[in-house]
Amino acid sequence: MSTLPNISTTRTIYAWKPLYLLLAIAGSILPWFWLLQDSTALLSPNLFLQRTFTNNITTAWASDLLISAIGFFGYAAIELKRLGSSRLWVFLYIGLTFGIGLSCALPLFMYRRELILERNAFRQY
């Protein structure tokens, strides 16, 4: 029985890095594109929350997003500790999530995570 050669998956793992960066850029532009369509809601937190929870569908989306964001913050804190990076970065991701959107913060976290993994892999060699 022949054995398969040891094929490194490092190249395929880091191939996701440009996609994460592209998603972070799109995630920083698209939410604000739609938010700026109704700038009056941006100036009034009460009006913003009222429009966010207007009906069952928007309430479902908003609650899903908030639960996902909380899960992401926990995952980011644990993953940053595991990777040996400062957990203070979690505050950046929290700020990005509530200032721009989870669609920016999560792909940016994934991009930065890949950078750290890549740096750590090159340090081993």
- The pLDDT tens digits of the residues spanning 49-101 come to 999 999 999 999 999 999 999 999 999 999 999 999 998 999 999 999 999 99
Q: For residues 76 and 90, is the Cβ–Cβ distance under 8 A?
A: yes
Integer Cα distance of 107 and 21 in angstroms: 7
The answer to whether the predicted template modeling score (pTM) of the entire model surpasses 0.85 is no
User: DSSP label at 1?
Assistant: -
**What angle in degrees, to the nearest 10, is found between the helix axes of 56-83 and 89-99?**
160
What single letter denotes the amino acid at residue 122? F
Domain boundaries, given as residue ranges, for the chain: 17-124
- Matching residue, tokens 């991009």: 111
Integer Cα distance of 123 and 104 in angstroms: 29
Confidence band for 6, pLDDT divided at 50, 70 and 90: very low
Q: How many residues does the chain have?
A: 125
- Matching residue, tokens 């429009």: 51
